Structure 1
Amino acid sequence: MILVTGATGLVGSYLVLHLAEKGLNTTAIYRNEKAIQKTKDLFIMYNKAHLLAHITWVSADLNDIPSLEIAFENIEYVYHCAAKISFDPRDEEQIRKVNIEGTANIVNFCLAKNVKKLCYVSSIAALGDLPVNKTITDEETDWNPEKPHSDYAISKYGAEMEIWRGQQEGLHIVIVNPGVILGAIPKSWNREEGSFKIISKVAGGLNYYTLGTTGFVGVNDVVTCMTQLMEGINEGERYILVSVNLSYQALTTLIADKLQVARPKKLATKWMTEMAWRWDWIATNVFFQQRKLTKAIAKSLHTNDVYSNTKITNELNYRFEPVEGVVERIADAF
C-alpha cells in the first residue's frame, strides 16, 4: 500500500489522481475532513470521480504519533507531500514544527515499519547558495548557513536533513526540489493560496511587474517525475524539478495573454517593493491585517535565480511540458 501525506494540497491531490489512473490504491492523510472535498473536486474536474474508490482516507497529523501509527498500517511506500507553506515571520514556530518535526516523525515511522522507499517533496528554497563563480543552481550547490534565508527555506532544509538522516539509518529515499508549481485547480479551491495567487492578481488587473527570475514547473510534471523516481532504481539522490526559468514579467505577460486581460505595464523597482513590504508590515502589526508581502518575498521579486534540470532530464530521459500549455489549462479552469 502507498501512503500520501498532504493529499488535499496541490501536489498531493494530483499525485493520488495520477496513482489512481495507474490503478494503484493509496492511503491518504487528511487533517480537516472538509478538505477532502478539495481532492474530490479535482477528480471531478478531470471527469475521474470514479477513481476516488482507489483512495482510503485516514485522519492523521504529522505531529500526532498515535494517528500516524494508524496511517502507517500495511504501508510499503510513502510520498511525503505535506508541508506548512508560509513566508510570514509570525508563522516561524509552526513552520518548523510541521516541516521539520513532522518530517522527522514520518522518517521514524518509515524506519520502524520497514517502508521500502520514501519520496520527499522539498523545494528549490532548500537548495544551496551560489558562490560568486557560478550562475546556475544545481543539486550540488552548497547551503551557506551564513547567508539570510526565509523561515520556510530553513524549515525545508531542516526537513531534508531528517530525510538524509533516515537514509543513513537504512531508509531508501529520494528527494525532489520543485520550482514554483503551477497547476489548474477547481473553482471551489482558494485562489489566494500558493502560486494560484499570481493568476488571481493578473486576472484582477495587475499593473506592476518585476524583472526577477525563478524556476517554474507544472504539477503534472512534478507527480510524474516523483512516481518514476519511486518506481525506478533511483535512490539516495535529490532532483531539481524545473521546466523553465522565467522572469516574473514574462510569466505575468503569458498569464495575461492566456486569460485575455491587460498585461502588467509598469516596472516595480526595488525601492518600491521595499517600501511596499514595510507598509505591509505596519498594516499587519497595527491593523492586524493578513500579511501579503514580506521582506523575503520582496527580495525574491528582484533576484535572478536560475536552476538546472539536467540531472532529472538525463537520468529519466524526461522532457518537461512547456509552461505555455500549463498556463493555458490554468486559464481554462479559471
Structure 2
Amino acid sequence: MVFVTGGTGLVGSHLIKALLDAGTPVRALCRRPYEGFILTPAEQERVEWVQGDLMDVLSLEDAMEGIREVYHCAAIVSFNPRQAETLLRINTEGTANVVNAALEKSVRKMVYVSSVSALGRLKQDSLIDEATQWTEETNNSRYGKSKYYGEMEVWRGIAEGLPAVIVNPTIILGAGDWEKGSAELFKSAYNEFPWYTEGVSGFVDVRDVVQAMIRLMDSTLHSERYVLSADNWTYRQLFSTMADAFGRRSPHKAVTPLLGEVVWRMEKVKSMFTGKDPLVTRETARTAQAVTRFDNRKVLEALPGFAFTPLEETIRFHASALKKHFAL
C-alpha cells in the first residue's frame, strides 16, 4: 500500500487515479471529503481515506503504519502576503512532519512534489535547471521560499536514511476544481479574460507529472531532484490556445509592466477593505512579465522512453474534460 498526502488536490487526485488503474492499493490523507470529479464514486470507495492534518504528528505516524511508499503532494499555494505564515507552517513544518513519520515507519521511498519556485528566478532569459541555487536574491515569492525550505527538510531526511526524490514541476495544467489553483487558468480563458502578457514560463500536463512521479518511485533513483516541464510558452500563447479549445475569444489587451505595477497596488488596497485575497499581487504581476525558461533534459535522460505531452494536446484534452463536466 502507498500513502498519498493531498489526495483531493489536482496532482493528488490524478495520482490516485493512476495508481488505482495500476492496481495499487492507496491510503490518502485529506483535510475534507473528496468533492472533485477526477475520481469516480467507485474509485473513491477503493481509497482508504484518512481525514487529518500535516501538523498532527501522531495521526501521520498512524496513517503510515504498514506503508511502503509515500507521495507527498499536500501543499498550500498562495501568493497573498497575508498567507506567509501559513505557507511556512504547512509547506515547511508539514513536510518536516511527513519526513519524520516516514523515517519512523521505515518506508522504502518517498517522492516529494516541490515546485520550480523553489529554484528561484534568475535574470531574464536564463535557463533554469536542477543545479540552479535558490537564494534570497533570486527568490521572488513567499510560496517559493516555503517550498525551498520544504525541500531542505527532505534533504535532511535523505541524510538520515530516507530514500527520496524531489520533483519540481512548472505550472501544472489539468482538469479539476477551476475555482482554485492552476485550473483557474482554464476558467479565465473560458470567461474570455481579455488581458495578456508576453512573459514566458514553463507548463506541464498533470498526467505527465503523475507518470514521472510513479516511474521515479519505481526506479532505483534517489537523492535527486528533477524539473518537470513540457515546454516554455508565453502567457499570451497559453491563454490563446485555451480560448481556442473552448471556442472563446482570445485575450487581446496587453498588460504593460507599468500597468501591472498599478494593478497590484490597486488590488492590495481593495483587499484591505474587503478582506478577500487580491486577484493580483506584486509577485504574480512581476512573474507574469518575466521571461523564465526551464530545462527538462535531466528527467528525460533519467527515464528512458518518457516524453512530455505537447501543450496543445494537453490543453485540448483537459478543456474537453472541463466542458463535459460543467456541460459547457
- Shorter-chain TM-score bucket reads over 0.9
Q: Which amino acid aligns with 2:278?
A: R
Q: How far is the alpha carbon of 1:148 from its aligned partner?
A: 4.5
Aligned partner letter, 1:150: S
Larger deviation: 115-124 or 320-329?
A: 320-329
1:324 to 312, 321, 328: 312
Corresponding residue for residue 19 of structure 1: 19
Aligned AA for 1:283?
K
| Sequence identity (%) | 39
Which secondary structure state, in structure 2, belongs to the residue aligned with residue 73 of structure 1?
Answer: coil
Out of 19, 25, 42, the position equivalent to 2:38 is 42
> Per the alignment, in what secondary structure is the counterpart of residue 78 of structure 2?
coil
Structure 2 residue corresponding to 1:67, chosen from 39, 54, 59: 59
Matches of 1:56 and 1:297 in 2, distance apart? 37
CA drift of 1:130 comes to 3.3
State the Cα deviation string for residues 84-106 of structure 1 (Å, max 9, x = none): 11100101111100000000000
Deviation at 1:64, TM superposition (A): 0.8
Residues in 2 aligned to 1:121 and 1:288: alpha-carbon distance in whole angstroms: 30
- The aligned residue for residue 81 of structure 1 is 73
Q: Shift of residue 52 of structure 1?
A: 3.5
User: Which of structure 1's runs of 4+ aligned residues deviate more than 4 A?
Assistant: none
Aligned residue for 2:85?
93
Amino acid at match of 1:3: F
Counterpart in the other structure of 1:291: 278
Q: Structure 2 matches for 1:1-334, cutoff 5 A?
A: 1-33=1-33, 36-38=34-36, 41-44=37-40, 49-130=41-122, 135-185=126-176, 189=177, 191-317=178-304, 318-332=306-320, 333-334=322-323
Root mean square deviation of aligned Cα:
1.4
- Write the deviation string for residues 189-246 of structure 1: whole angstroms up to 9, x where unpaired: 3x22111211111211211110000000000000000000000111100000000110
Instruction: With the length of structure 2 as denominator, give the TM-score of the two structures.
Output: 0.95
Mark the runs of 5 or more structure 1 residues left unpaired by the alignment: none
Partner of residue 326, structure 2: none
The letter of the residue matching 1:291 is P
What is the one-letter code of the residue matched to 2:152?
Answer: M
Q: TM-score scaled by structure 1?
A: 0.93
- SS of alignment partner, residue 273 of structure 2: helix
Structure 1 letter corresponding to 2:148: Y
Q: Which runs of 5+ in 2 are unaligned?
A: 324-328
Contact 2:80 2:278 (C-alpha < 8 Å) held by counterparts = yes
Give the letter for the 1:324 counterpart.
E
